[in-house]
Amino acid sequence: MQQMDFSVVSDGKPETLEAYARILETLRERVAPDAESTGPPHWILRRARQLHRFLREKAPATREHYYTVLSLGIQTLGPVSSAMKDDLDKRLKKLKALNMARARGGQKSERVSKNWISWAEVEGVRDRLEKEVRSLHPRRKLTPEELYTYQKYVLLSLYTMQPPVRDDYATMRVTPVNSAEFKADGYNHLLVGPGRRLRFHFSEYKTSKIYGSLETEPPSDLAAVLHSWLPKIRHRGDGGRLLAKRDGGPMQEGTPKDILNALFQEATGKRGIGPAMLRRIYMTGRFGKEQEERLRVAKKMMHSVSMGNRYIKR
């Protein structure tokens, strides 16, 4: 099946444009399954009411992402779509403001509250996976299913044994280095060496234009997990990717989210626990009480928390 080419309306990374195309196809299958899956998405105009009804059931952050894709997709239809384009952009603007206000105030949406778990519960899921991994024979070649189970443990360790990032491990490459010098090539890397030293090199991430390339070293417990994982994937021959899909193919942006969603739904019955939710749970567990105190003080001083931060001498 040929997906829509978003490169004509966006200069995003290839994996981002592919994710946009998958989202648009998902929306088409839900609200216009009888429409052509190739060519310009005229079905957006014909099924606008069904689209808005379907998206009302989504969490605000997800809705914002979907409206972004629709706004880009409809641009390919030319002047005939201008009225709906304006409507989508207005909805998108309101959603962004709503999500920003919730983020600044630390408010959870109803859906997030319903699926919330504590950081201790997150670590409990990882600990159960670790027991399953430890039961595997260390000298035997793992079956594809065992390797995938091991990878789920590695993925969850990446998000729980250090402060969690976004989807930035999806296309990460394992790169041996013999010196401190390294040239970025459009991917994030796990740098191996000299010796047993490990470093994460992030050059492709959401806020890279602000912060530039970053390097961090994994804590000792995560380094041990990675050192045990790397020998098990040397045979894959997939260009040195740290992680892969269940069928062994290359991950795309959003694949870690899908794996974590399925993992936590099976383990806890909760939905939507991916990188973004883990970041919220982590920050709440670590700074939640401090934030509550800041909110109380800000209310008494009759200003916002962000305004209060400006008063703190650094």
- In the predicted model, what is the mean pLDDT of residues 139-144? 82
Over residues 142-195, the pLDDT tens digits come to 898 999 999 999 999 999 999 999 989 998 999 888 755 566 677 899 999 888
Model pTM score: 0.67
* Residue whose token pair is 């919730």: 102
pLDDT for the residue 107: 60
Q: Which domain holds residue 75?
A: 6-105
293 in a structural domain = no
244: in domain: yes
- Looking at 79, 105, 131, the residue that finishes a domain is 105
Its sign, for the CA torsion 295, 299, 301, 302, is: positive
Q: In whole angstroms, what is the distance from residue 263 CA to residue 269 CA?
A: 9
Residues 157 and 250 reside in one and the same domain:
yes
161 and 27 share a domain?
Answer: no
Is the link from the previous residue into 194 a cis peptide, with omega within 30 of 0?
Answer: yes
Strands, E assignment, the chain: 173-176, 189-192, 198-202, 214-216
Residues 41 and 137 in one domain: no
Q: Please report the pLDDT score of residue 171 as a whole number.
A: 87
Q: Is position 303 within any domain?
A: no
Integer Cα distance of 109 and 59 in angstroms: 7
177's CB contacts (< 8 A; 6+ apart) are 191, 192, 193, 194
Cα–Cα distance measured from residue 280 to residue 164, given in angstroms and rounded to the nearest whole number: 9
For position 149, which CATH number holds? Answer: 1.10.443
Residue 285 lies in a domain: no
- Residue 192 is predicted with a pLDDT of 92
The pair of structure tokens assigned to 77 is 């239809």
Same domain membership, residue 135 and residue 176: yes
Token pair recorded at residue 120? 């201790």
Task: Tell me, yes or no, whether 64 and 144 share the same domain.
Answer: no
Beta bridge partners of 215: 201
Q: Would you place residue 1 in the very low, low, confident or very high pLDDT band (cuts 50, 70, 90)?
A: very low
Whether 132 has a pLDDT exceeding 90, the answer reads yes
Please tell me whether residues 89 and 229 are part of one structural domain: no
Q: What is the 3-state secondary structure (H, E, C) of 257-275?
A: HHHHHHHHHHHHCCCCCCH
Least confident of 1-15, 39-53, 108-122: 1-15
Percentage of residues in the chain with pLDDT exceeding 90? 33
Domain count, the chain: 2
Mind listing the pLDDT tens digit for each residue in 38-51?
Answer: 777 888 888 888 98
Whether 229 is in a domain gets the answer yes
